[in-house]
């Protein structure tokens, strides 16, 4: 088969087009996790190699491994030369942007402002041309130092006085512990964990205390998951009267019950004694009576 010059041109053009369209690239992210302090503005690095322009590509930033598989995953989408926000996760609203000047150089990094607890986790940066795509994974760790533990009295509980310790605004989750004045851990209920709307942790721990020599109690917070451990302590002194008022109520109630019981027992004992005596008297008189009858019979026989 003979090739005409038009065939040759077509093949050459096709090859050229294919080469241009299928320009291969790699998407690269940071080699280490990004550690961000709550409230900061951060850059999630992502770029393509070789550094061709990404202006005409689709740049898709999304979350992976979210706890709820049904939830939306989109963080930021750039497509057809524009940012598209229609299916963005609510918590990212107004906080994401790409560097438009940098896109020309293949830099598809994402700017995320005012980071919060919900931003913690894994991200993917997916860059797609007409014929090729690649992605990179970026891990983000959020760090937030919360409030000093706050203590309050919950009131009289079975076995003593209920105390509550609460601390807010943490990431990751800290641990709480109740201590007595000698630093000995007090038994406490299970610690309760909540997250606020920004994803920061709120932790609560309850305990029940009895009166001690000092009535001094401490709630200790520990954040062990950070490179440097954080310890915070809040001390609490309950006035003796406060515990006593409540303990007294119990003491008085107890005393009343005990005294009433004693009185009842005395009355009961007396009643039983009286009854016994009465029945004894009755028996005695009956015996006397029958003796007299026997005597009468005897006298009858004798006569």
Ligand X SMILES: *[C@@H]1O[C@H](CO)[C@@H](O)[C@H](O)[C@H]1NC(C)=O
Q: Which residues bind ligand X (CB under 6 A)?
A: 43, 45, 47, 51, 99, 102, 104-105, 107, 109
210: tokens are 């009895």
Nearer to ligand X, 139 or 191 (CB): 139
User: To the nearest whole angstrom, how small is the minimum distance from the Cβ of residue 41 to ligand X?
Assistant: 11
Nearer to ligand X, 105 or 216 (CB): 105
User: To the nearest whole angstrom, how small is the minimum distance from the Cβ of residue 105 to ligand X?
Assistant: 4
Any idea which residue has 């690649």 for tokens? 134
Q: CA 29 to CA 248: how far, in whole Å?
A: 67
Nearer to ligand X, 105 or 157 (CB): 105
| Cβ–Cβ under 8 Å, residues 164 and 151 | yes
CA dist 193 to 3, 107, 175, 203, Å?
Answer: 76, 40, 10, 5
User: To the nearest whole angstrom, how small is the minimum distance from the Cβ of residue 31 to ligand X?
Assistant: 13
Nearer to ligand X, 124 or 206 (CB): 124
208: tokens are 């029940």
From first CA to last CA, the distance across the chain in angstroms is 172
Q: CA 213 to CA 200: how far, in whole Å?
A: 38
User: To the nearest whole angstrom, how small is the minimum distance from the Cβ of residue 107 to ligand X?
Assistant: 4
User: To the nearest whole angstrom, how small is the minimum distance from the Cβ of residue 74 to ligand X?
Assistant: 21
User: To the nearest whole angstrom, how small is the minimum distance from the Cβ of residue 64 to ligand X?
Assistant: 22
Nearer to ligand X, 46 or 243 (CB): 46
User: To the nearest whole angstrom, how small is the minimum distance from the Cβ of residue 52 to ligand X?
Assistant: 8
User: To the nearest whole angstrom, how small is the minimum distance from the Cβ of residue 89 to ligand X?
Assistant: 23
| Cβ–Cβ under 8 Å, residues 194 and 145 | no
Nearer to ligand X, 99 or 133 (CB): 99
User: To the nearest whole angstrom, how small is the minimum distance from the Cβ of residue 76 to ligand X?
Assistant: 14
């Amino acid at each position: 088969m003979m090739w005409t010059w038009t065939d040759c041109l077509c093949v050459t053009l096709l090859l050229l087009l294919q080469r241009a369209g299928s320009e291969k690239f790699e998407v690269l992210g940071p080699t280490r996790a990004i550690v961000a302090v709550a409230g900061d503005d951060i850059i999630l690095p992502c770029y393509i190699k070789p550094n061709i322009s990404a202006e005409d590509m689709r740049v898709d930033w999304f979350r992976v491994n979210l706890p709820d598989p049904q939830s939306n995953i989109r963080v930021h989408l750039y497509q057809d030369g524009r940012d598209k926000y229609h299916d963005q996760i609510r918590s990212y609203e107004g906080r994401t942007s790409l560097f438009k000047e940098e896109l020309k150089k293949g830099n598809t990094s994402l700017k995320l402002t005012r980071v919060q607890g919900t931003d913690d986790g894994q991200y993917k940066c997916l860059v797609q041309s007409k014929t090729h795509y690649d992605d990179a994974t970026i891990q983000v760790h959020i760090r937030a130092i919360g409030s000093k533990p706050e203590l309050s009295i919950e009131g009289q509980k079975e076995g003593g006085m209920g105390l509550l310790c609460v601390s807010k605004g943490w990431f990751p989750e800290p641990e709480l512990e109740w201590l007595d004045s000698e630093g000995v851990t007090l038994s406490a209920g299970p610690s309760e964990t909540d997250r606020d709307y920004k994803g920061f942790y709120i932790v609560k721990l309850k305990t029940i205390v009895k009166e001690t020599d000092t009535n001094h109690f401490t709630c200790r917070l520990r954040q062990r998951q950070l490179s440097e451990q954080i310890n915070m302590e809040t001390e609490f002194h309950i006035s003796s009267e406060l515990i006593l008022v409540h303990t007294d109520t119990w003491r008085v109630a107890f005393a009343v019950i005990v005294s009433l019981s004693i009185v009842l027992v005395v009355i009961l004992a007396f009643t039983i004694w009286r009854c016994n005596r009465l029945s004894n008297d009755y028996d005695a008189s009956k015996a006397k009576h029958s003796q007299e009858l026997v005597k009468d019979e005897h006298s009858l026989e004798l006569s």
